[in-house]
């Protein structure tokens, strides 16, 4: 396994290009199962999760060609030759569950391994399943798999999600595009990745209203056709790199950055002392004065994104005062806290609340990553820490951040990757 070594103290200056969104691409790719015609995705990120989704879709009979060094994905599913998504792939990436709705909608059958939990929580899929049942699917859970059938096709239904689940919304939205009649989904997720999926499905001929609001209305059609769609900018990669010049000092331009994707996060970052200005090519970020404390509560979009909580905590460990972070989306998403404490941070965690008492400085240390966003919060802390921070198990990082070392070192960070 590789590790990343960061030596703190370097101010950052330069530009960081922001890639296409991992969490948009992971739902756009399964949409290719909905049609026999080609779906082309541009601005695709080059990440290990995309390779895993490619492996899964290929096992189902979907041809996936990676073009232009992985920036363009050309997908085509003339027919689904295998309707079973096996555990050995699904266990590597929970987003695999997103092939369930499309396979059911296209062919009326699907067998998908239950994804199981992960480091940040139990991650059930009950909302995905109850929504599909509302649309007429017959589901049988046995031996760790969902055996799903809809022999006469899915039927439009009215369904209220108990929680605005991102994946649940994506699965049901894709399934509804080919259902007979109209589907109305209430209390859906409103994340930019949902809006991006709706735009792509509409380009494929789907009839959808309400994306970005709490209610989606989908009028089923008989068939969808091919399309070419540009993957939306990755707001989580964007927010992560916006934090880099704020924690390390300096000024960085995030190429492709869009403030409208992260309004709540930007407001909190400005409260913490950042100056964010829009440029013709993206967003320019620097810090003005000391890092100031700010209270954070993670919420569904448009609230503060849970996927940026760990990164914000890294910054707030150096604030002049106390910040309270409340994690409301996942039950166990403070695993970065013990590692930050080893670097000298002063953090008290009780249940879903982390109280961060700012300290004057952090000290580099060997630290262990446990999930994708926890990993990158340790890198950010290392940029500001005195001395060397060694982050191991960086395979977590490769799931969500392409060329992280190259992007940060191009702005002057003292950072390298080596074999462990
Ligand atoms: C998506 O996961 C993202 N992953 C996550 O990003 C992100 O943290 C999450 O949305 C919330 O924004 C992808 O898009 C691939 P959820 P998802 O369904 O769809 C509960 C990253 O770092 N829930 O909105 O799994 C669940 O337990 C990853 O890029 C149910 O109870 O998130 C959790 O507590 C991490 N039943 C909460 O909802 C269900 O059927 C949020 O889950 C589904 C979810």
241: CATH:
3.65.10.10
Whether 171 is in the pocket of ligand 1, judged by its Cβ within 6 Å, is no
- Do both 256 and 377 map to the same domain? yes
Task: Give me ligand 1 centre to Cα 123, in Å.
Answer: 7
- Do both 10 and 81 map to the same domain? no
Q: What is each CA distance from 53 to 31, 91, 98, 108, in whole angstroms? A: 12, 12, 10, 21
Last residue of a domain, one of 179, 198, 230: 230
Q: Could you confirm whether 118 is annotated as catalytic? A: yes
Task: Give me ligand 1 centre to Cα 5, in Å.
Answer: 30
- The domain of 349 spans 2-18+234-419
* pLDDT tens series, the chain, 420 aa: 899 999 999 999 999 999 999 999 999 999 999 999 999 999 999 999 999 999 999 999 999 999 999 999 999 999 999 999 999 999 889 999 999 999 999 999 999 999 877 778 777 899 999 999 999 999 999 999 999 999 999 999 999 999 999 999 999 999 999 999 999 999 999 999 999 999 999 999 999 999 999 999 999 999 999 999 999 999 999 999 999 999 999 999 999 999 999 999 999 999 999 999 999 999 999 999 999 999 999 999 999 999 999 999 999 999 999 999 999 999 989 999 999 999 999 999 999 999 999 999 999 999 997 889 999 999 999 999 999 999 999 888 999 999 999 999 999 999 999 997
Of 172, 183, 110, which is closest to residue 140 (Cα–Cα)? 110
d(CA 196, CA 201) in angstroms, rounded, equals 9
Sheet holding 12-17, edge to edge: 12-17, 250-255, 282-287, 274-279
- Do both 207 and 271 map to the same domain? no
Instruction: Find out whether 347 and 341 touch, Cβ atoms under 8 Å.
Output: yes
pLDDT of residue 369: 79
The residue whose C-alpha atom lies closest to atom 44 belonging to ligand 1 is 165
pLDDT of residue 19: 97
Token pair, residue 205, equals 């001929």
- Do both 29 and 160 map to the same domain? yes
Q: 232 by DSSP, 3-state: which?
A: coil
- Do both 241 and 208 map to the same domain? no
Last residue of a domain, one of 180, 209, 230: 230
- Do both 267 and 338 map to the same domain? yes
Active-site annotation holder among 118, 200, 266, 411: 118
Token pair, residue 309, equals 């909580």
pLDDT of residue 5: 98
- Do both 254 and 356 map to the same domain? yes
- Do both 172 and 273 map to the same domain? no
Whether 395 is in the pocket of ligand 1, judged by its Cβ within 6 Å, is no
pLDDT of residue 27: 98
pLDDT of residue 144: 92
pLDDT of residue 391: 95
pLDDT of residue 1: 83
d(CA 260, CA 271) in angstroms, rounded, equals 17
Instruction: Find out whether 5 and 388 touch, Cβ atoms under 8 Å.
Output: yes
Provide Rg for the chain, Cα atoms: 21
Instruction: Find out whether 308 and 265 touch, Cβ atoms under 8 Å.
Output: yes
Residue 31 DSSP symbol: G
Instruction: Find out whether 226 and 36 touch, Cβ atoms under 8 Å.
Output: no
- Do both 251 and 310 map to the same domain? yes
Indicate the number of domains in the chain: 2
Alpha carbon of residue 287 to chain centroid: 26
d(CA 180, CA 203) in angstroms, rounded, equals 19
Whether 163 is in the pocket of ligand 1, judged by its Cβ within 6 Å, is yes
- Do both 109 and 239 map to the same domain? no
d(CA 331, CA 260) in angstroms, rounded, equals 28
**The model scores a pTM over 0.85:** yes
- Do both 44 and 82 map to the same domain? yes
Last residue of a domain, one of 205, 230, 255: 230
Whether 23 is in the pocket of ligand 1, judged by its Cβ within 6 Å, is yes
Helices and strands in the chain: count of H runs, count of E runs: 14, 24
- Do both 28 and 6 map to the same domain? no
């Amino acid at each position: 396994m590789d590790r990343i070594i960061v030596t703190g103290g370097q101010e950052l200056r330069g530009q960081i290009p922001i890639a296409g969104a991992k969490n948009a691409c992971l739902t756009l790719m399964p949409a290719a199962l909905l049609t026999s015609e080609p779906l082309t995705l541009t601005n695709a990120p080059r990440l290990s999760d995309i390779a895993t989704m490619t492996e899964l879709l290929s096992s189902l009979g979907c041809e996936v060609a990676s073009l232009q060094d992985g920036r363009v994905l050309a997908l085509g599913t003339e027919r689904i030759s295998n309707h079973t998504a096996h555990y050995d792939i699904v266990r590597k990436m929970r987003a695999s569950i997103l092939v369930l709705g499309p396979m059911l909608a296209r062919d009326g059958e699907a067998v998908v391994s239950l994804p199981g939990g992960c480091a940040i929580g139990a991650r059930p899929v009950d909302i995905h399943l109850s929504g599909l049942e509302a649309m007429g699917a017959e589901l049988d859970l046995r031996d760790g798999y969902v055996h799903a059938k809809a022999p006469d096709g899915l039927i439009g239904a009215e369904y209220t999600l108990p929680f605005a689940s991102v994946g649940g919304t994506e699965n049901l939205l894709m399934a509804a595009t080919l259902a007979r009649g109209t589907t109305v989904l209430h209390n859906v997720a409103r994340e930019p990745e949902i809006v991006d999926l709706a735009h792509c499905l509409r380009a494929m001929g789907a009839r959808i209203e309400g994306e970005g609001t709490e209610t989606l209305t989908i009028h089923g059609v008989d068939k969808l056709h091919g399309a070419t769609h540009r993957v939306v900018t990755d707001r989580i990669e964007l927010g992560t790199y916006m934090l880099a010049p704020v924690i390390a000092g300096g000024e960085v331009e995030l190429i492709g950055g869009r403030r409208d994707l992260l309004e709540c996060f930007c407001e909190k970052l400005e409260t913490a002392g950042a100056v964010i200005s829009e440029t013709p090519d993206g967003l320019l970020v620097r810090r003005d004065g000391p890092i100031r404390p700010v209270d954070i509560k993670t919420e569904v979009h448009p609230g503060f994104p849970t996927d940026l909580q760990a990164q914000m905590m890294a910054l707030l460990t150096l604030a002049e005062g106390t910040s309270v972070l409340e994690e409301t989306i996942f039950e166990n998403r403070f695993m970065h806290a013990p590692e930050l404490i080893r670097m000298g941070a002063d953090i008290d965690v009780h249940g879903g609340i982390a109280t961060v008492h700012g300290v004057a400085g952090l000290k580099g240390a060997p630290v262990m990553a446990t999930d994708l966003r926890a990993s990158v919060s340790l890198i950010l802390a290392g940029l500001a820490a005195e001395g060397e921070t060694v982050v191991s198990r960086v395979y977590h990082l490769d799931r969500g951040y392409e060329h992280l070392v190259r992007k940060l070192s191009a702005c002057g960070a003292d950072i390298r990757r080596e074999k462990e």
